[in-house]
Structure 1
Amino acid sequence: MWKFVLQGCIAALLVSSAAQAVSPADPDKVIRVAFPAADDGFDMVRTQNYYSGFIAETIYETLLTYDYLASPAKLVPKVAEAMPEVTNEGKTYVFRLKKGIHFSDDPAFKGKKRELTAMDFAYSFRRLLDPANRSPSAGLLQGKILGMDSVVAAAKKSGKFDYDAPVAGLQTPDRYTLQIQLTAPDYNFLYVIAYGAMAGSAREVIDAYGAQSGQHPVGTGAYMLDKYVPRSKVILVANPDYRGSIWDFQPSADPTDLQLIRDMKGKKMPQVGRVEISVIEEEQARWLAFQDKQIDIDWIPQLASRTALDGDKLKPAFAAQNIRLQRFIEPAISYTFFNMHDPIVGGYTIEKNALRRAIAMSYNTAEDVSIIRQDQAVRAQMVMPPGVVGYDPAYRSSIGYDPVLANKLLDRYGYKRGADGYRTLPDGKPLVLRINREASVIYQELAELWKRGLDTIGIRAEHPVSNFADNLKSATKCELMMWGGAWSVDYPDGENFMQLLYGPNAHQGNNGCYESPAYDALYRKAISLPPGPERTGLYAQMNRQMEADTAWVLQVLRIRNWVSRPWVQGFKKHPLIHAGWEYLDVDKRMASEAR
């Protein structure tokens, strides 16, 4: 299992030269992958869509990134020359950018080469906090940058954000220097800086394309968008002006790293000239595409695990194809939230909490694990998964599967059964849940699991079907009564998960609009502390408060079994680098013969 620690200043491990303008990428080297759900455009200021993040991180660049092989995960410079200078008791950060990094060509630049500067990062941070953008990631910076709150307040009052207003805590003293001053120490700030929404973006591009910027990304990264068919196909091609790097990562304790190093060490990157991404929502269809060699990298869906795996190894039929397997507990949680503003399941009165608690106790997590996930999951106990700072392996949730007690709760608080066996609200009005879902088979199976559990306590439910991107948009607006999903780690601290329940983050990650003064006070205290037992204890208290209010139904931690074809070299699934295509190579001869 991955563990994460924040490292001190280290040397950049990518040897690059801004003067190099000819990409080594071979257009005949192609990686083919599939997404199980659609993206929502590639403007990470406006979305937290997991699959949007895959694409965005290859097109845009952040000041910092993560070492590709290091475990525990380790922050390293990306476009910054080195790790920042940190002074003023951890409140002031000075980043110096590498010179000669350019955006890919675009008409918005009117035929001129456009260099990446410190101003582009200052602009991106401002965009994140512009109320008009309704950024779901705004909470990462809200209230943190000295002097920015007044600019945000003025924008809320006037309806227009002043991007040129001076801000004491966000300075660019020269073209390549970014100085950030925080209102208080933030022990996760460098993790935040490495998050995709913090990438540098060109103001003239955003001005040129406006609301369409998410479909017209222009960055400085290793790849560019070549073709985009929303909810169907994305094709990336190597950026011909990308500065390049030398693959020179050091092995972790994982013995499989040694083969990666033999395959990759010393190569000038990127080698892959084209990445083709298909949206294949149905798990069985995606798995068949992998078996048919139409896609090169995928994870084994739960429904196929018993036919593909023998314990923690591939079965002989797959092993004979030299398919490579990586198996680990994904640093993510799956859960279903309740909309606390909803007239049926929302609210903080005892009878509303009793309803939510009964619903939560009707969910049979053991069946989820054994039947739906085919034992490729374990029960989630906390809001955060193992492997993030603050996780307590001894913690156990106070809410479990118990339909007998759930029925007693509903009886006590006036949810009466009718002649048909189904319950009404205490005022006699109909009680029908709406649990939104996506179309693929696994979500149908989860809907059936919900039905079996809810039938035992006499509650009807509907399961409206939509696609992931549209459900996410509605959830961000707190428009869904209930919706099940997952949250994957963006930065390796429990705050990344606990902020999903922080009241001020409603409409920007807190999709259930949960607002608890007790929880919020604990959250604010926790993030003011350095990592350690005291903060871990506060995270545990926050979990208990969430359980007391029954804001979520915690479900499972998924075991991922990533597989890659033997012609794909250098692949290792990183918990925080989602795509990693710029670190891969393809054996063209082997791929051509196999396909």
Structure 2
Amino acid sequence: MNLAKVLLLIFTISLFSCKKKDDSNTLNVSISGEISTLDPANSYDTISASIVYQGYEPLYEYHYLKRPYTIQPLLAEAMPIIEDNGRKYTIKIKKNIQYHDDPAFKGKARFVKAEDFINQIKRLAYLPTNSNGWWLFDQKIKGLNDFRNSVGRDFEKFKTTKIEGLKAIDDHTLVIELNESYPQMLYTLAMSFTSPMPIEAIEMYENNLNDKIIGTGPFKLDSWTSSTKLRLIKNENYRKAFYPGQGDRIANSRNLLKDSGKVIPFIDKVEYNVYKEAQTRWLNFKAKKIDFLIIPKDNYSSAVDPNGNLTKELQEENIKLQIFPTLTYWWLSFNMQDPLLGKNLNLRKAIAHAIDVERYIKVFTNNIGQKSNSIYPPGIPGYDPSAQLPYEYNLEKAREFLKKAGYPNGKGLPTLTYDVRGVSATNRQQADFVKSELGKIGINVQVALNNFPAFLEKARQGKLQFWQDGWALDYPDSENVLQLLISKNHAPGPNSTFYSNKEFDKLFNKLKVMPNGPEKIEVMKRMEEIIIHDLPWVMQYYSRNYILYHDRLNNYRHSDLIYNNFKYLRLNQK
């Protein structure tokens, strides 16, 4: 080979080796804090859910386009056959649903079986899992509590012990028998908590699945650097699934039906980057390194004009705006087992009257948030827009209650600890706001900084005293709100306040089996009266999201309930 040909060959090899990787079909997502877990038994925050739902699939899901929200089959073949006055569910499961490849399968393709759903429900009940999802089935499935108590922490018993109310009739037929009717059952079977889990994986990883995704979803885990980024890639073995057809008029008006009938997913990769600071997220969005973004409070005026429309500058950059009501809302929580705050109602009332919630909403949401008027959020049956809370910003009343609490002008009151949910500037500013407000009446507050996983762990262990809490509803029903306050759901369940009230618990047991209607609404009202009187929560605001996205992103529709939405998104190619 002569010198010219050698040089040409070297040049050609260099050209191809230096060619930039084409990431035009990669969805770029920003998350505001560390990822707490990838285990569907313990994923119970919006950050981990945005990942888990792309890789794991339960039996049912919400239709992407229809409103009101509509449940449809996902891994199930059809809607369940419900018998015995709502106590028996027979569910047929689709065939040939393959799991992501994993060393647990020793090089063989592994397909979903009915027994895998039983394995996962067992995991929710199994004490070492310490599952956030146990509350879903506590006292609900025949024999499940007996299984939890008899198995304890014995893994061999976990594998061999049968449960009366869970049966795999064959590989594709699951039967669930309940102790009593549970109208929310379909909602629970659409949550990632109930995604199937192969026994081989549970055995190989000794029930520790925090850093793995062994699911059936359209995306599988490629890499994860815990504090900075995570990458999902398209599952090459994903079954043939299709973008939904006609939904509703809203869907039509937003051009969400162009891809109806096409095979999904459209995207090859999803890149998650941890950007803790809002300004960092904003700058990366502007640089087109993030595809969609909830507008940070400090950039609201740069994005939206006084009439609520997108600014001309962003319109010229082909950026789109969507405004969504949400099923997410916020309040201040007290640890009701705390010997100081939990035992002194007047002290809690003093705090409730000392914080200017309207100014908080203005400062931290640019008045996008809607001041709460109830423990229930708009969007669920029974919410009353005319309801009123019995506390308001009033420093004179706050001082009166502080005096009744035994601490006139704060004299003799120990310093309270306010825990934050993350380490961003906004988290710190929110804490400083609360500290400053309470300082006006003589209450001293020290702020405890936590990253988000550390905050969640403190909540699970009951180590919080006073903090901001919030909830994104799992399903649109008051039962999903009220279960946050019942005694049996004390942490590590969702009741991190450790609130207990016998009448409230009794009413909850009545409400949870009631259909929507006037009788249920009356029970809801009485339960709210109890909470307002006992004051484990001081309500703040209901969220509303102003979301920006770049023109290359198609089919985007925000929802607080639909987390498995990435399979529907399409990116314009370069």
Q: Per the shorter chain, which TM-score range?
A: over 0.9
Task: Give the letter for the 2:372 counterpart.
Answer: A
Specify which of 283, 286, 291 is matched with residue 286 of structure 2: 291
> How far does residue 323 in structure 1 lie from its aligned partner after superposition?
1.7
For 2:204 and 2:519, locate their aligned partners in 1 and report how far apart those are by CA, in whole Å.
48
* Maintained 8 Å contact 2:324/2:546: yes
Specify which of 110, 123, 142 is matched with residue 119 of structure 2: 123
The corresponding residue for 1:593 is: none
The corresponding residue for 2:300 is: 305
- 1:283-317 Cα deviation digits (max 9, x unpaired): 11111111111100111112221221123321111
Q: Please tell me whether residue 580 in structure 1 is matched to residue 565 in structure 2.
A: yes
User: SS state of the match for residue 53, structure 1?
Assistant: helix
> How far does residue 552 in structure 1 lie from its aligned partner after superposition?
1.0
For 1:93 and 1:68, locate their aligned partners in 2 and report how far apart those are by CA, in whole Å.
24
For 1:274 and 1:355, locate their aligned partners in 2 and report how far apart those are by CA, in whole Å.
51
Q: Please tell me whether residue 442 in structure 1 is matched to residue 442 in structure 2.
A: no
For 1:540 and 1:97, locate their aligned partners in 2 and report how far apart those are by CA, in whole Å.
40
Task: Give the letter for the 1:303 counterpart.
Answer: D
Specify which of 294, 315, 320 is matched with residue 311 of structure 2: 315
> How far does residue 435 in structure 1 lie from its aligned partner after superposition?
3.5
For 1:90 and 1:387, locate their aligned partners in 2 and report how far apart those are by CA, in whole Å.
25
> How far does residue 280 in structure 1 lie from its aligned partner after superposition?
0.8
Task: Give the letter for the 1:60 counterpart.
Answer: Y
Task: Give the letter for the 2:283 counterpart.
Answer: L
Specify which of 398, 403, 414 is matched with residue 395 of structure 2: 403
For 2:570 and 2:225, locate their aligned partners in 1 and report how far apart those are by CA, in whole Å.
26
> How far does residue 170 in structure 1 lie from its aligned partner after superposition?
0.7
Superposed CA RMSD in Å reads: 1.8
The corresponding residue for 2:532 is: 547
Q: How does 1:484-495 map to 2 (within 5 A)?
A: 484-495=468-479
Task: Give the letter for the 1:57 counterpart.
Answer: Y
The corresponding residue for 2:346 is: 354
For 2:391 and 2:526, locate their aligned partners in 1 and report how far apart those are by CA, in whole Å.
15
Report the TM-score when normalising by structure 2.
0.92
The corresponding residue for 1:461 is: 445
* Maintained 8 Å contact 1:151/1:161: no
Q: Structure 1's 185 and 212: CA in aligned 2 closer, same or farther, altered over 3 A?
A: closer
> How far does residue 51 in structure 1 lie from its aligned partner after superposition?
1.1
- 1:225-250 Cα deviation digits (max 9, x unpaired): 10101121010000110013121331
Q: Structure 1's 443 and 179: CA in aligned 2 closer, same or farther, altered over 3 A?
A: same
* Maintained 8 Å contact 1:170/1:180: yes
Q: Structure 1's 144 and 259: CA in aligned 2 closer, same or farther, altered over 3 A?
A: same
Report the structure number with the largest CA radius of gyration. Answer: 2
- 1:336-377 Cα deviation digits (max 9, x unpaired): 211112222123xxxx11111111211111101222211111
* Maintained 8 Å contact 2:62/2:562: yes
> How far does residue 48 in structure 1 lie from its aligned partner after superposition?
1.4
For 2:364 and 2:153, locate their aligned partners in 1 and report how far apart those are by CA, in whole Å.
50
The corresponding residue for 1:385 is: 377
Task: Give the letter for the 2:366 counterpart.
Answer: Q
> How far does residue 143 in structure 1 lie from its aligned partner after superposition?
0.5
The corresponding residue for 1:535 is: 520
Task: Give the letter for the 1:583 counterpart.
Answer: Y
Q: Please tell me whether residue 556 in structure 1 is matched to residue 548 in structure 2.
A: no
Specify which of 481, 484, 493 is matched with residue 500 of structure 1: 484
For 2:265 and 2:466, locate their aligned partners in 1 and report how far apart those are by CA, in whole Å.
42
User: SS state of the match for residue 32, structure 1?
Assistant: strand
Q: Structure 1's 255 and 193: CA in aligned 2 closer, same or farther, altered over 3 A?
A: closer
Report the TM-score when normalising by structure 1.
0.89
The corresponding residue for 1:473 is: 457
Q: Please tell me whether residue 281 in structure 1 is matched to residue 269 in structure 2.
A: no
For 2:156 and 2:497, locate their aligned partners in 1 and report how far apart those are by CA, in whole Å.
28
- Which has the larger displacement, 451-460 or 113-122? 451-460
The corresponding residue for 1:64 is: 60
* Maintained 8 Å contact 1:433/1:481: yes
User: SS state of the match for residue 173, structure 1?
Assistant: strand
| Pairs aligned (count) | 551
> How far does residue 160 in structure 1 lie from its aligned partner after superposition?
7.4
* Maintained 8 Å contact 2:332/2:467: yes
Specify which of 3, 24, 27 is matched with residue 31 of structure 1: 27
The corresponding residue for 2:4 is: none
- 1:79-125 Cα deviation digits (max 9, x unpaired): 11111111111111111011000111111111111010111101111
* Maintained 8 Å contact 1:39/1:50: no
- Which has the larger displacement, 536-545 or 434-443? 434-443
- 1:8-33 Cα deviation digits (max 9, x unpaired): xxxxxxxxxxxxxxxxxx97511001
- 1:413-463 Cα deviation digits (max 9, x unpaired): 32134xxxx4323xxxx3433333422222222123212320221100011
For 1:159 and 1:439, locate their aligned partners in 2 and report how far apart those are by CA, in whole Å.
37
For 2:147 and 2:328, locate their aligned partners in 1 and report how far apart those are by CA, in whole Å.
35
For 2:205 and 2:97, locate their aligned partners in 1 and report how far apart those are by CA, in whole Å.
22
* Maintained 8 Å contact 1:171/1:178: yes
> How far does residue 159 in structure 1 lie from its aligned partner after superposition?
8.9
The corresponding residue for 2:265 is: 270
The corresponding residue for 1:432 is: 416
For 1:255 and 1:117, locate their aligned partners in 2 and report how far apart those are by CA, in whole Å.
35
For 1:389 and 1:501, locate their aligned partners in 2 and report how far apart those are by CA, in whole Å.
19
* Maintained 8 Å contact 2:422/2:451: yes
For 1:130 and 1:285, locate their aligned partners in 2 and report how far apart those are by CA, in whole Å.
41
Identity score, percent: 29
The corresponding residue for 1:177 is: 173
* Maintained 8 Å contact 2:27/2:270: yes
User: SS state of the match for residue 270, structure 2?
Assistant: strand
For 1:41 and 1:215, locate their aligned partners in 2 and report how far apart those are by CA, in whole Å.
7
For 1:171 and 1:486, locate their aligned partners in 2 and report how far apart those are by CA, in whole Å.
36
User: SS state of the match for residue 452, structure 1?
Assistant: helix
For 1:33 and 1:278, locate their aligned partners in 2 and report how far apart those are by CA, in whole Å.
6
